[in-house]
Chain A
């Protein structure tokens, strides 16, 4: 048909995705194109919906941690920590200090892997394949750290209600220093390859722009919002864990385009590394979990040698932690922005309602407005900078 929506020429309908070689993540764009200009776009999500919220209502509170890992699988520890903080707020317990430092360290390593995934893939999709693989190489050094901490690279299930699963390895400081040195070297290379690259510049500057007011109205958070100049970072706005004792800055952009989003993420990685170094330097000795028998499993020694320990273990595993009735909404800074959990407990051992506020869901909601009137090829860069993670967006 011709001239629909008052556009000049013929409008062509194209469906891009849900499995398209130039986009990572299952997502479908129903496009109406005039030549290569996007007249209208309809973004379809939901291809990776796994019923996270429904599944969480079936098990105990601790059963939800593995599911939380799989929300944003580029930064599993951040999801773990976010969920743990929400349940702890609901239960009225606070994790010991050493545990809080460990969570900060793990979380920031996860933020680095998240940003590296996003930027590496974004570079890759623009043809900068070497830079893309350099970033993935940097991610490998960090995954080695995650593996040393948690025993797994991706599906870590590291946090528990009131603590973490195990302590840091004894040589964590040396390992981290080695890994961060490599990451810094690679990031310097990538910065030289990309940040002032003509092709990269032309594909990113002024593309996917969203005004500050629109970004706030769309509920954008994280690097997408900070690229428009709003310094909203949950770690600063409502400090949790020990972020108020750590010196770091919140990088912001000015124009809210893809290039600013890229630069904000690059700058945030350096801040994350600073946070890791400070947290490691100030890491206190002490327990890594609470000992409250209502919420935390007793040590195995007690389970096998005393009847009280055995009963305690049995009750916690079979009936779950009886979190007092009530509700909370706890926001943390995830890899892509405000990662919030809204939890309702009815006092039984099972969650009554678990709601995750996935940051990339709201990013995707704004994608249509970022793309309308732009070129077909701009979809790839803009979608890449939203860093939509299917598991999180479709939860």
Chain B
């Protein structure tokens, strides 16, 4: 399927999907979705026989400081069976940075959403275990936000006894 045909098909399947065309997309298939369409729209894209995006290749975000809405969560979908790609972009406002989770649609969303929370401070409603993944729990701020200064220092963290204060108190039997 060509990019145009795929975009037309996706627009028919998913209500509210706006194809992003023109020079910005560089010929790749991109749609913009509103967050209230998630995760049902993603499930449709995964299961429909003409799209079959069984793999969430990557999930990330971008911070467009000064623009409204400020954030964008970006899903890179790939279909191993039909060999095509689609990028889904979901705008997220600054005052309520939250998106419904995609962990029920693809398993890879689990860690990827944790990383987006860690780096951008965007919450994923319904995520089973949303905590930092690359940074440590005491880290202050979300480093990939544009207003996080690149040379910012972090406070010293007192040593933590990993047995009595594990990283994941809600899961541990010890806490």
Taken together as a complex, chains A and B put the C-alpha atoms of A64 and B64 apart, in Å, by: 21
- Interface positions, chain B 83-124, Cβ under 8 Å from A, are 83, 85, 87, 106-108, 110-112, 115, 119
Kindly provide the distance from the CB of B1 to the nearest chain A CB, expressed in whole angstroms.
14
A1 contacts across to B, CB distance below 8 A? 173-174
Size class of B's contact patch? 35 or more
The answer to whether A338 and B57 have CB atoms under 8 Å apart is yes
A49, A89, A331, A340: the one within 8 Å of B26 (CB): A89
Chain A: number of interface residues, binned into ranges: 35 or more
Q: With a CB–CB cut-off of 8 A, which chain B residues contact A90?
A: 26
Instruction: Tell me if B's interface is mostly helix, strand, loop or mixed.
Output: loop
Contact assessment for A344 and B174 in the assembled complex, using a CB-CB cutoff below 8 Å: no
Is B12 in the interface zone, CB < 8 Å from A? Answer: no
Interface with B: A124-132, A136-144, A277-285, A319-327, which one? A319-327
Q: Which of B24, B60, B80, B112 contacts A216 (CB 8 A)?
A: B80
Contact yes or no, B167 A30, CB < 8 A: yes
- Please give, as numbers and ranges, the residues of chain A lying within 8 Å of B111 by CB-CB distance: 361-362, 364-365
Is the pair A13, B58 in contact by a Cβ cutoff of 8 Å?
no
How far, in Å, is A388 (CB) from chain B's closest CB?
Answer: 13
Q: Residues of A contacting B171 with CB < 8 Å?
A: 40, 42
**Chain B residue nearest in CB terms to A394:** B134
Query: B61: shortest Cβ distance to chain A, in Å?
Result: 9
Partner of B135, one of A49, A53, A365: A49
Given the interface pairs A1-B173, A362-B111, the reply to whether A329 lies near B28 with Cβ below 8 Å is yes
A38 within 8 A of B: no
Which of A57, A89, A237, A355 contacts B83 (CB under 8 A)? A237
B108 touching A357 by the CB < 8 A rule?
Answer: no
**A357 near B76 (CB under 8 angstroms)?**
yes
A219 touches B162 (CB 8 A): no
The answer to whether the Cβ of A181 comes within 8 Å of any Cβ in the partner chain is: no
Q: How far is the CB of B70 from chain A (nearest CB, A)?
A: 13
Residues of chain B within 8 A of A394, CB atoms compared: 134
Inter-subunit contact A326/B173 (CB<8 Å): no
Option from B23, B85, B133, B148 in Cβ contact (under 8 Å) with A324: B23
Chain B residues with CB under 8 Å of chain A are 23-26, 28, 30, 54-58, 60, 62-63, 74, 76, 78, 80, 83, 85, 87, 106-108, 110-112, 115, 119, 132-136, 143-144, 148, 150, 162-163, 166-168, 171-174
Which residues on A are within 8 Å of B, measured CB to CB? 1, 4, 11, 13, 15, 30, 32, 40, 42, 44-46, 49, 51, 53-55, 57-58, 89-90, 92, 214, 216-219, 221, 225, 230, 232, 237-238, 324-329, 331, 338, 340, 342, 344, 352-353, 355, 357, 361-362, 364-366, 369, 394
